[in-house]
Chain A
């Protein structure tokens, strides 16, 4: 392959200018002249029967245009298990669940109308701990689970229980593996539910149009999923539903599926077709919209005295909370990735996704992998200590290498990537083995390391498509429905297209807004697969366009396509650059001097579909779930104040085998952002509930995310480039990976510093303080 001009360079974003001037339009910023504003009344109880809803006084308020309750909306939704209603009907399943929706001329009128609605509830005892909820006799969050439809062959909700799904991995013989281990360690680990906190809360404008049509503007990661689910739920032909996604202010998985769109549509319909805008308040973003699932992990790990893992037995209990949403798939993905990037000959994993009465779980950057790696990498550390082995050496002895088999039966090839190189790079950067002397007598230092891996958790039929059209001036527009929510994929795609089309990058643009009427299909912008699949689709579309360019250039230059070379937006005859024609003259067809015209508007088409993936055997988990794996490692140096428990992150190093870094600055920025988000999960983030299921920290006052003052003193990003054979220019996705092992690396460093095992997140200063004091009194 010839050297690329743009791929591999730090090309700046085109969208930077609208964003830095404040002209980029987010759904928050959009309005229509006849638009209504909607608010919802939410359940104050975690579990209750709705006895009565009294709305006449609210309906009578001037300016109120529509009021809906669950009884008005007999539609069941769900990505994988159709367990959710648009508004609660008959019972509420979490505090914060919307019960009544009101659309009015102004937000103030809608809010005033809320005060005029009377709702009677009969509270029930909520089920809050998924481990309790799994036990027989537990109160059922979904007594009608057996009536719900679901994606057969992939998921299996257990009727008359709170189990939405159980994923099993069975490899080898676990009992024999444990029996033949010299050392067996056990550990219980927990991470709490945690909110995404995008800066732009969920927002949607829905317009119910005549003849069962609708137009939606939504801050969402997956326009086609929104369209598809709206069509399925309301039994509409796909052509009737048009979804637009403009700029979106962050998603992190919380905007991956469908949330407020169906309600906005129903309100618009009830209001006679006026557009209805719903914007989540920050409190609704915390307490009504879904979060990352909590996870209870029980691990048993057996290894030989030489440090080879023989057996890994894990029970994952995911807190799906009130609705399955993406949660069942997170439980699935967590299982098939649930042994970490290690060679485990005997593996037994049960991953349960369990309903409880709290705000429901959904996709969150990492899709279960941060939660799973918390347990796995902590267990690895504990095992290393028990073996009296350096934790880095222990990992290097077991990390997956070419020829090894994963726990789902996938054989590792040279093109998979190199977790060993990632670990090595991190250890080197951290000066592993050398302990720093702390600056003060009250502080101790420690270093920790952890590996990570993730493949996109996506259906076997996941696909992407792209269209490239040339404009009159020889520039090219890329139409694609993946969403650039800041991760920079559109810039990477421009770089790829510019190199493939042999066109200056200033003349290559991605049409920013996704519009399902015009932008060709893309599955979802999740799973770190957009650059991979979008890149491949754009390559194919570019080559298709280039073929058409050469075909018409061949005619124009009295030659043949196979003798045409292109560069810098011009086609010329091989070895005769003076015989040339610029793309402008070919873009819409070529016209000879006498007026004869040939060719036509150039439209390149490209697509990519996941290949070779299989469903996992429901009994053994064997199969091929992964299009590609991205491996990595993270290391951290911490300084702990032993008097207060406060931690300082001195240095945080991340190494990822990215295959090919398409844009170094964007890649680096993605990692830094993910690391800081990961630190939030590590040090202070997590939803807190009281004994009755009430959310205690549903605002920024008591749920903090990192500020500029909370970042590490120093970070480093290392990219290994073992080409992914089927990746665009060898690239793999890296979007979620920077978060994944931050918590475990930090906890491993805390062990190194303090000799204390931390198995529960977040690692607040108080938690560390208490552990230090407990250790002192125990001694």
Chain B
């Protein structure tokens, strides 16, 4: 099978890897770079558990080919905390009780992260729209919306 050499920046670090064309960004992150934060919940772009930021925009990484990310910047949940310090957004998730089983959490935080970067003071409707592509079966979403609201209030950017 033909391999393509690509170079991408992941959470600030340049990575050069050889990948087959059919490998998804999600598979690259989880299997080759051992970043198991982004999860596979469906493999078809419907559940959002695989959400990462590609050049700053949230995408379902299960539907992005690794080869499409050559020269691009990817951010995952693993890059959210700095030097072991939780971000304001992560702390807000904890304080608002917005975490239960935790499987949707990495993708959910990334969607929220992208939202706060493009809109530091979102309304509840805007928060809802931003996370509507992230399925959660445990929380019923109220506390997640509250967490993002809280993070915005606390000045997360």
On whether the two chains bind one another, the answer is yes
- Point out residues on A near B: beta carbons under 8 Å: 10, 12-13, 15-26, 28-29, 196-201, 247-250, 252, 281-282, 485-488, 665-666, 668-669, 672-677, 699-701, 705-709, 711, 715
Q: Are B141 and A711 in contact (CB under 8 A)?
A: yes
Q: Mark B135-150, 1 if CB is under 8 A from A, else 0.
A: 1111111111100000
Q: Are B137 and A708 in contact (CB under 8 A)?
A: no
Complex Cα distance, B133 from A673, in Å, reads 17
Give B48 Cβ to nearest chain A Cβ, in Å: 9
Instruction: Tally A-B pairs: CB < 8 A.
Output: 164
Contacts of A669 in B (CB 8 A): 97, 100, 139-140, 143
Q: Are A672 and B94 in contact (CB under 8 A)?
A: no
Q: Are B140 and A675 in contact (CB under 8 A)?
A: yes
Complex Cα distance, B95 from A201, in Å, reads 28
Secondary structure of the A contact surface, majority rule: loop
5 closest pairs, A vs B, by CB? A22-B37, A19-B102, A249-B103, A486-B100, A486-B101
A-facing residues in B96-121 (Cβ within 8 Å): 97, 99-106, 109
B49 at the interface (CB under 8 A from A): yes
Complex Cα distance, B126 from A709, in Å, reads 11
Partner of A708, one of B42, B97, B141: B141
Contacts of B104 in A (CB 8 A): 199, 249
Contacts of A707 in B (CB 8 A): 132-133, 135, 141
Partner of A12, one of B49, B94, B133: B94
Q: Given that A672-B142, A673-B138 are contacting pairs, would A21 and B103 also be in contact in the complex, using a CB cutoff of 8 Å? A: no
Give B31 Cβ to nearest chain A Cβ, in Å: 8
Q: Are A701 and B46 in contact (CB under 8 A)?
A: yes
Q: Are B42 and A282 in contact (CB under 8 A)?
A: yes
Q: Are B137 and A677 in contact (CB under 8 A)?
A: yes
Contacts of B43 in A (CB 8 A): 281-282
Q: A20-B77, A699-B44 are in contact. List 4 more A-B contacts (CB 8 A).
A: A282-B47, A673-B100, A674-B140, A708-B132
Q: Are A20 and B100 in contact (CB under 8 A)?
A: no
Q: Are A672 and B140 in contact (CB under 8 A)?
A: yes
Complex Cα distance, B136 from A10, in Å, reads 22
Partner of B140, one of A26, A282, A677: A677
Q: Given that A18-B102, A672-B142 are contacting pairs, would A665 and B97 also be in contact in the complex, using a CB cutoff of 8 Å? A: yes
In chain B, what residue has the closest Cβ to A700?
B46
B21 at the interface (CB under 8 A from A): no
Q: Are B101 and A676 in contact (CB under 8 A)?
A: no
Partner of A21, one of B40, B90, B133: B90
Complex Cα distance, B36 from A705, in Å, reads 25
Q: Are A21 and B77 in contact (CB under 8 A)?
A: yes
In chain B, what residue has the closest Cβ to A248?
B101
Complex Cα distance, B40 from A776, in Å, reads 47
Q: Are B100 and A24 in contact (CB under 8 A)?
A: no
In chain A, what residue has the closest Cβ to B129?
A709
Q: Given that A700-B47, A708-B145 are contacting pairs, would A250 and B140 also be in contact in the complex, using a CB cutoff of 8 Å? A: no
Give A127 Cβ to nearest chain B Cβ, in Å: 31
Contacts of A200 in B (CB 8 A): 39, 41, 101, 103
